[in-house]
Structure 1
Amino acid sequence: MLTPLIKNLTAIQQRIDANGDLDFFDLDLNSLSTDPFLLYHTTTGRITYCNKAFEKSFGISGQEIRLPEFRSETLIDTEDVSLFNAKLAELGSLLPEERASLRFSCRYQAKEGAEYMCTMMRLLADNLVFIELIRPVQSGFFGVTNKTTGEMLADAEQMLDFGTWIHDRKSKHIYWTDGLKRLTEYQIDKPETAGSIDESYYRSLIIRDDAYYSQIERLREGMRQGGYEVKYNIRTHSGNIKTVLEKVKLEYDETHNIQLGMGIVKDVTDYEKALTSLSEYRMMMLESEDKFHYGLWEYDYTKDEVLWSDGMYRIFGYDPKTDRELVKVDRDIYKKHINEDDHYRIEEQSRKISNGADDYSWEFDITTADGQLRTISTYAKVLRNRQQEAVRVIGTSRDITQLKEYERGLETKIKELNKSNRELESFAYVASHDMQEPLRKISTFGQRLQNKFSEELGEDGRMYIDRMMASAESMRNLIDNLLEFSRITSNNAYEKTDLSQIVQQVCEELDMKIEENQASVDVQVLPVVECISSQMKQLFNNLVNNALKFRSPDRPLQIRIRSELLSQKEVRERHLQPYKKYAHIIVSDNGIGFEQQYADRIFQLFQRLQGKSEYPGTGMGLSISKKIVENHNGMISAESAEDQGATFHIILPYSQ
């Protein structure tokens, strides 16, 4: 604030020296500081000027203080007079070009016992000293009591990250505070920055981008109106990009030309980044609300006020752009849209909150502003004060109309599927029963023919009877397998079952068959899983029988059954439920194998890769195995090469 005075020091000094007139200040110097200050003449030892703040605080007029008989020492505490004189002498020994100033504590006694401190003494010319006084702060803030206004301004600049400047348009120089130098990352203690800075330097820091040019008109208008506020980007002395907010006050001469400019520059880089992030987040939320059909809302108990996001307006059939100012959003708006039969549920939620609930959720049907029927799902969180009184409720509401339609459609499909399955089971049972009866008669009559008329039939006749009986038996096995396939469901309860014990039971039941085929079965420890034990027994029975059937005549049959935990990577690759544990059971043999191109075909009903005569069977064993695994929410696959054996991979969840 001393800049106007500093720039006229030569004229002031010449006026004093030329005519010795101490009443030379036709300038208003009160604006230099709101604290009391003096101008002290070192040659005469007299005070040449005091501002109005000094007159008010000390009860002495400017005329009185400049009387020849008035001595300035009378204002200083007697214990500090010697200190004042010593500092005055020290100040005189400093070079003027060093902008000589001293900061120290020296007590001044004002009227009514008030005490001030001389906190800064500044040499303005060879014999003119500026003395600033400030009253100690009595509120207990240590470290501030002896600070000058300038020091407190410097502290404020550093804490709040701003700087100030004064621009003399005639000299085209700018006086910067240390705060502005710090903001622009200019070297504070650099000798060339001790005085004013050339106007062109600051202009060189400004980045002429879209943000700058968009405010040119505002700047021009401010130049005419006495001040302006603009925001732009600068590149600091160190090359960093900052966003600053500048507020400027202008003073004009009698011809309305700008004479003096004073400004404050604030670093708002972090604020702008936060604002940009907030704006991006808001746009993301708006897009998310629109895409996923939900909205956010808040109810303030203290103001009885409801706030809606754009998504809430859309859910209730309003246009957030055009209807926001037209539609009154309050508690009654819900009753306007919710079916009357559900109004009592609104009161239920209020009672829950009154009874201490911290959150709640519910579904309700509404009729939108444009007449559509929608189902809404809401979840809300209750915020309470220290007295546990509800002060706010914040929540999210989602339009689940389409989801409900999908659910209803799915329920209908499930009912139809269950009905179809029941009919299929009924049909399979009836069909198998009705087909079994003719087969039994064929077998019975065939046996009678063999027993009573064997000799009369001759060799050819007996051959035909044997083939007829074998075909009837095959047909009966096929019907039994079909009936078994149709009955594989998940209606039975799942129980934790040790698969090692299941496989052991299977091997015991097939012990004779395994021994006849000179086969070996190597079973490692298998896991305990939730399953239907009877179906698991059938699964392993089918797989072991399959290996026994398709053994190679060139080598002893070896069957291996082992297990491992399926990794989460494999869980993702197989599109299974994430973070769920799955057992990978591997059943392998060294039989005749098959070509890999038939790996899917072998699990289809009645599909056979070999002839019936060589490898008898119904072709349903692996189809039944696949249905059992899928009934347990698992997967089964096979890999093989001709004459290289076959490997079956079974994936089963540990829990259903």
Structure 2
Amino acid sequence: MFIKKQGSFSKGGAMSVIISDKDWSTTPVGTIDSWPVGLRTALGILLNSKFPMFLFWGSDMTCFYNDACHESMGIDGKHSDILGKCGAMVLSETWRIMLPIIDELMISGEASWHEDQWLPVLRKGKMEDTYWTSSYSPVNDESGKLDGIIVTLNDVTEKVEVRKKMNEAEERLRLATEIAGIANWDLDLQTHEMIHSESLANILGYKTNAKLTNADLMGQLHPDDLSNIVEKAFEVAMQTSIFKYEARFIKKNGESRWIRSHGKIFFDSNNEPLKIIGTLIDITEERLRREILMESESKFRLLADSMPQLIWTADPFGNLNYYNRSVFTYMGLTKFPAESEGWLSLVHPDESEEYADKWRIAMATGTDFTFEHRLLKYDHQYHWHLSRAIAQKDAVGNIQMWVGTSTDIQQQKIFTTELERQVTERTEELVSNNINLVKINIELQSFVYVSSHDLQEPLRKIQMFISRLYDTEELAFTANAKNYLSKINEASKRMRELIQDLLSYSHTNLSDNLFVLTDLQDLAEDVKKDYAEIILETNGIIEIRDLCEAKIIPFQFRQLLSNLIGNALKFTKPGTPPHVVVKGNRVKGLDIKNLDIDPMLMYCHINIADNGIGFDMEYKDKIFEVFQRLHANKEYPGTGIGLAIVKKIVENHDGIISVSSVINGGANFDIYIPER
């Protein structure tokens, strides 16, 4: 095994050469020539072994190792330094693990065996976790004294890592099954011994650490289910090797639960059953949900069959799987067309392709399906239908089924078509009327022109000739002639006033609505100046205060104020000087009562009150109509158009006008103009 020749070792690989060439004179073991037989023998075993081996010699634990150890223990960087030095100094990474074992051996003197021992090893410049199965053996001299220790190592890192991964996988599986409430069991069919997970005891109502037998399990199955279900399932499994059943189980507290077991039988080479490996889970809640679902489906079908509407359902992929009774009655069928034809075979060819496209989009997106199409009825006529389908989804949005309806809308279609025809005719009629209205407006403008020029011209001539007659022929007139001429003159004046008021009213309708922000206080003061002479003659008073700014059509609003103030100065009580108050304020629409006012807007409010003759409130609406007068022309001259013009101007401003009055108690006009 070991031969010294010229100070070197002839066998033992690369380490033999290194040991032979090393200067040992400075080490605790001295030169090679002085080494004892025990050291030489131990080195012979070490250098010729294919297992990684260390030799720690003497009280200083001088370190030796072989080629296999050099290659597997990652000591390349220490290769020349470790040899001949104390193990504690040169194997610092692993010495703290090896030392307690060495100390124990030195006390007991007996070899020891260690499996899957963790050792940190420096490999390729970094520390790695490695695992070794090792033997620590004593090397004794002739007297039995301990001289050294041989450590034999076997690298089992790969095996340990695989086992760790398997254990982790098994732990993950165990946790997964526990979370899912699934129990595992393994029944030996020869000995009837059963191994099971803790969750099996929990499911069956035992303590977690209880150890159950197959007899325990079978004894608590419902008697009816044991004979009718479980035993028959075992008979089937003997033929197919698949063992599965659902049965009732009576827990220790008397509670009845449903369980599902699923497993596989394994047979030997003689086809004799060896064992069953399987799972078991409590499905009580699942059974309850299933029963509720079946009951709900039964009620749904009973309700659907009682309805005249066509009702159908489809699976998540759009395959129709149920039709209510009305579908068969409506179509005159005893059974529905085959799946290859399906519903589309009954849809009118002109709409079938679009129907299929919309149905595919609904299934892909999960959105509601809605489509109008024609459907074949039992009389072989196509009727218009509105088909709808809504996806029924679970809590996370997965489609479970589709529920659809098809409603016959033939009559609505006929009605809609007729309505569309009537609307078209009415629209054409309105277009024609609008054209006529444009023509009438053009004619009205022509009338305005004629009224303002051609009709007034003969009146001017009549008045001119009457004036000349008075100037040249007055002495020749009889009393009757003078009376007739006076009446002709008054009639022509009245005719002139009537034409001018008609022109004013028509201008109110036809003028451009150019709104300007205007100070109504200044506007009212200008109107007051127009009546200065009348105010002076009648000793009248006109008060104007607190009027606001508003966007108005200035010349129209001037006419409005002029008409109302003029009426107040005209319709006075004999012997009573007129007193007119014009005032205003801004007011919220919400605060204006009993009028058709937008509560969300602000309004400019103008109030005009007088102390005149007033009128009976019976005529409060009539006074705003054209040519309506409450007094004789001789008493109070006028044409009866003034207040009609006022109302039209207020309407042009999207406003409201109201009036209150008492006979001989004056009149009170309220005008509300919305702020723009």
State the TM-score, normalizing by the size of structure 1.
0.43
Q: Given the two structures, how large is their TM-score scaled by the length of structure 2?
A: 0.41
